[in-house]
Amino acid sequence: MSAKVTDPNRQASSQVDFESLVVAAFVSLCVADSPHARLRQMHRATQNGRKVHCRALSGGKTNRCFKIYVAYEDGDDDDDSNNNLAVFGKLAFDHALWDPQHPMPYDLSRTVNEYRIMVAFQRYIPNAPVATPLACLDLTVPSGEFRDGLNTDTGVRQAKLLLIEWTQAEEPWAHQFNRGIVDQRVIPKVARALAALHNFPNINDFGRDFNQGVRPCMRLLFQACRDAMATLLSSNSKQDRCLAALRLLGPHGVERLMDRHVDSYECRNALVHHDVHLFNILVEPATPSNASCNNAETQKIKQATLTSERDEPAVVLCDWEMTFWGPMGSDPGKVMSWPLAVACCHAAADRDTELAGRLAVMTNVFWEAYANALRKNMDRDNDDCECQVFREAMGWTGSMLLTGIYVFGLYREELPLHSLSETLRVEVLASIGLLGIKLMQYGFEHMEPHLTLHQLRARYCIIIQEELKYLANNSR
């Protein structure tokens, strides 16, 4: 699809032609004397008569994403396989739609800061797993479908367009866990990158007040979560194991747990990415030969390392717009959450814990790599510090499972639940939520505060193993 330039001030009745707006902004940047080789190459291609195209990739809760590309000279106009002449575009809005009924104002300075931290991190870390940022542009877009609840008299809204080089890493790492075949070379690279971020040296430019404009919107999201939990507790919904546990805690217990969660969010002990779940970690797409299972024997393979022509895997951490000074444990906690959710799915689908257990163990492998990298960079080389960060990580893992997947249903459609009956799907989601409650209690409420680091990590493993065994046994 090739986009036509339209007047950005023209009000659309329901749908906005975002592709046209993105292409118009991109073309203005794509010039012969650009400091970026990718943009100079794309400019030369357009001078030779080739067209700039734009394909929508996704529409998120805070932005829309696009692939901007020049097709092969002798190829179909819609062929976007030429990644060497392609750019990723993220159109960020001044509102968030985490709760569609109540749009939340969301400070656009977050996108400028996203560009700044990506530039700095790429300079600071050799071979940093960050795509090259090209520009951050101001745009005016019609309110269109986002008018409700956020209306302005002008019918237009402000936006930012972040442009980034397209990379070979374009598959969400989460998909590999869904298939049960995971490139383990990615683990240390992600772990080292997060440890480096948590010890970022450029305090003058990225100090404790960096990107604090994201906090008000997130505080509104916490309130929306409290409201959703209260509604759940008082509803007539059929009770599953997670809802039973929430009702056992009662309204005051749930409110106290959320209070401690917010306390953790308000901490400022490190520069953190704060949105580094596995859908924001992109890896090389798996080849058909090592991504598929063609026979019964192959189906029994419970863990594999994907092969590559390079020893160093292509990995990209994306969506840096939430980066700020916050709780250090939030990043490893979010990395560890999806493998546990998927492990629950596989335990029920396979009716045993072999694959599920191996996927869950990868969270321990990740933690070891992260903790080792952290120790090398930190002056505080002691178990007490690591124990505190691990507790934080437990809490944020639990938050992603309980509030993210169970309460709000985020990424629920991505879980490998398709082979399960409706009854088992409900059971799996309840286990995911119940895991979330337990991990949040240990992480945010400091359950069993006397535990050493070794004991706390053992407790983490036991909590997960018990839930996986329950699912495997009750799905037979």
CA distances from 369 to 79, 169, 282, 410 (A): 40, 21, 19, 28
Average pLDDT over residues 174-184: 93
Six token digits for residue 252: 């005051």
CA 397 to chain CA centroid, Å, is 12
pLDDT at 381 > cutoff 70:
no
What angle is formed at CA 385 by the lines to CA 380 and CA 389, rounded to 5 degrees? 130
pLDDT on residue 52: 92
pLDDT at 302 over 90: no
Question: Does 271 or 306 have the greater pLDDT score?
Answer: 271
Average pLDDT rounded to a whole number, residues 292-318: 54
Lowest pLDDT segment from 220-224, 376-380, 393-397: 376-380
On the question of pLDDT at 338 being above 90, the answer is yes
- Computed over its alpha carbons, how large is the radius of gyration of the chain? 23
Q: What is the pLDDT of residues 85-111, one digit of tens each?
A: 999 999 998 877 666 666 677 889 999
Contact between 347 and 166 under an 8 Å Cβ cutoff? The reply is no
Looking at residues 378-401, what average pLDDT do you find? Answer: 88
Q: Quick one: pLDDT band at residue 168, thresholds 50, 70, 90?
A: confident
Burial class for 212, CB neighbours closer than 10 Å (0-12, 13-18, 19+): middle
Q: What is the SS3 assignment for 197? A: helix
Indicate whether 59 pLDDT > 60: yes
Residue 140: band (very low, low, confident or very high) from pLDDT cuts 50, 70, 90: confident
Confidence of residue 268 (pLDDT cuts 50, 70, 90): very high
Q: Which residues pair with 271 in a beta bridge?
A: 325
Helices (H), 314-417: 330-350, 354-377, 383-399
Contacts 24+ apart (CB under 8 A), 420-423: 420/345, 420/348, 420/349, 420/475
Return mean pLDDT, the chain.
85
Q: Which of 121-130, 240-249, 297-306, 458-467 has the lowest mean pLDDT?
A: 297-306
Is the per-residue pLDDT at 78 higher than 70? Answer: no
pLDDT band at 291 (very low <50, low <70, confident <90, very high): very low
- Pairing label, strands 281-283, 324-326: unpaired
Calculate mean pLDDT across residues 203-221: 87
**Beta strand 86-93 pairing with 63-70:** antiparallel
Measured distance between the N- and C-terminal CA atoms of the chain, rounded to whole angstroms: 49
Checking if the pLDDT of 351 tops 80, the result is yes
Query: Which helix (H) or strand (E) element contains residue 229?
Result: helix 215-234
pLDDT of residue 169: 87
DSSP 415: S
Number of H helices, E strands in the chain: 14, 12
| pLDDT of res. 452 | 94
Structural domains in the chain, sorted by start: 18-165 (3.30.200.20), 171-293+323-474 (3.90.1200.10)
User: What span, in angstroms and rounded, lies between the C-alpha atoms of 366 and 170?
Assistant: 21
3 state SS of 120: helix
Helix (H, G, I), strand (E, B) or coil at 75: coil
Pick the range with the lowest mean pLDDT from 145-149, 263-267, 428-432. 145-149
Nearest to 186 by CA among 342, 57, 308, 331: 308
pLDDT at 76: 58
Lowest mean pLDDT among 132-146, 243-257, 458-472: 132-146
The predicted model gives 3-8 an average pLDDT of: 33
Residue 214: pLDDT above 60? yes
Whole-prediction pTM value? 0.87
Q: Where do the DSSP E strands lie in 29-85?
A: 52-59, 63-70
Reported as a single tens digit per residue, the pLDDT across 16-48 is 688 989 999 999 898 999 999 999 999 999 998
